[in-house]
Structure 1
Amino acid sequence: MSIAFLVTTLIVVATPGTGVVYTLAAGLSDGRRAGVVAAFGCTLGIVPHMTATITGVAALLHTSAVAFQTLKYLGVAYLAYMAWATLRDRDALVVERAEPRSGTRLVVSGVLINILNPKLTMFFFAFLPQFVSPGEPVTRMLGLSAVFMLATFVVFAVYGILAASMRSQVISRPRVMTWMRRVFAGSFAALGAKLALASR
């Protein structure tokens, strides 16, 4: 494994995107455990993209405009839903919940956020082969993918934990809570718009 791979992976993972926004929101609303669980869900959402790349399904998405557009707009629709739900739910960011969101719900939402992002498959399709020499076994690509997933989980978990540490300062203030809800909703909407305008 090269230093170049590790550096590139950390840069890609740390760059704010849908997963980061979701993990931050989970950490702020439900605390450290929720932030870590959300990070785990987003990491699991990488598995289908990794599998698609290794099995060659990514090549289909790369060559089939219909397949790519279908997955892309499913992702756009889900991000639009996340924006709408975050904006309308006045309990989206609270210090205490009567019924805290379950770990299953947090994981499923995190998985969906990453599954419905065709650009992630395109990233794997373009990124991993650069660090795999011709003739190397599939296990090499699996190993690199595992490192990428580990980095994703660790970085996202740190985001979630840092967000959770700010709960008392942020969430207990109604005005700040309102603006945070708007910021997260706007972020999901902006990321959805960016995905909608993305080309292969």
Structure 2
Amino acid sequence: MLLIELTPGPNMAWLAGLAATEGRRCGLAAVAGVALGLLANGVLAAVGLAALLQAAPQLWTILRFAGAAMMLWLAIEAWRGTGDGSRSSRKGSSLRRAFATGALINLLNPKAYIFFVVVAPQFLNGEALGIRNALILSLISVAIATSIHLLIVTAGSTAHDWLSDPGRTKIVRRVFAVIMLAVAASFLLADLG
């Protein structure tokens, strides 16, 4: 799981960019949403979604395209962001939005489902995934991912003050937009194997 989490993906790019441009509180709200989304993936896998995705390639394709569309939307949002400092009046709604987006990114993240289809069965000694195993693996996954995500948010938020200059913020948002476009492309190229 540690290797999977250290592989660049939607969470890393988005959390780093969000913390750098919106600040630590927004980044922490997003980390909580990501954790909820990852936990939901485990539960959904336990009730059969991972097996269904493996058995029905058309559903896998829909998930990949939905994930790519979500990352494309985030890339557009990052590109268009003004960095004008008017965020303070929308802080509560910004925190809720970061939380919800974090959860949604992970519900639409093919990489998260690949874990339950390809990787998790190797640790079960032939035992069915089931609710108990899925929850144990999900909690381990969430703990590892959240630790890494907290480091990313902390590192990203250190750049927040430097980014108080709107010109710098614009450049960084655009760099992260391009990274998110690359992640969207990786979703389209993902294969269940």
**TM-score, reference length from structure 2:** 0.88
| Partner Cα separation in structure 1 for residue 133 and residue 55 of structure 2 | 25
| Partner Cα separation in structure 2 for residue 198 and residue 22 of structure 1 | 19
In structure 2, which of residues 86, 89, 92 is the aligned counterpart of residue 98 of structure 1? 89
Residue 55 of structure 2 corresponds to: 63
Provide the aligned C-alpha RMSD in A. 2.2
Structure 2 residues without counterparts, runs of 5 or longer? none
Residue 150 of structure 1 corresponds to: 143
Question: What's the CA shift string for 1:104-153, capped at 9, x where partnerless?
Answer: 21110111111112332122221112112234884344223201111111
In structure 2, which of residues 115, 124, 133 is the aligned counterpart of residue 123 of structure 1? 115
Tell me whether 1:88 sits opposite 2:97 in the alignment. no
The answer to whether the 8 Å contact 2:42/2:137 transfers is no
Residue 43 of structure 1 corresponds to: 35
| Partner Cα separation in structure 2 for residue 142 and residue 24 of structure 1 | 27
For residues 109 and 135 of structure 1, do their structure 2 counterparts lie closer, same or farther at Cα, with a shift above 3 Å needed?
closer
Residue 7 of structure 2 corresponds to: 15
Question: What's the CA shift string for 1:77-123, capped at 9, x where partnerless?
Answer: 111111111111213x8596332243221110111111112332122
Question: What's the CA shift string for 1:29-78, capped at 9, x where partnerless?
Answer: 23222212111111111123212322222111112121111111111111
How many residue pairs were aligned? 190
| Partner-residue secondary structure (3-state), 1:99 | helix
AA paired with 1:144?
A: L
AA paired with 1:41?
A: G
For residues 196 and 129 of structure 1, do their structure 2 counterparts lie closer, same or farther at Cα, with a shift above 3 Å needed?
same
| Partner Cα separation in structure 2 for residue 45 and residue 141 of structure 1 | 14
For residues 187 and 137 of structure 1, do their structure 2 counterparts lie closer, same or farther at Cα, with a shift above 3 Å needed?
closer
For residues 149 and 22 of structure 1, do their structure 2 counterparts lie closer, same or farther at Cα, with a shift above 3 Å needed?
same
The answer to whether the 8 Å contact 1:72/1:195 transfers is yes
Residue 162 of structure 1 corresponds to: 155
| Partner Cα separation in structure 2 for residue 84 and residue 18 of structure 1 | 14
For residues 95 and 30 of structure 1, do their structure 2 counterparts lie closer, same or farther at Cα, with a shift above 3 Å needed?
farther
For residues 161 and 179 of structure 1, do their structure 2 counterparts lie closer, same or farther at Cα, with a shift above 3 Å needed?
same
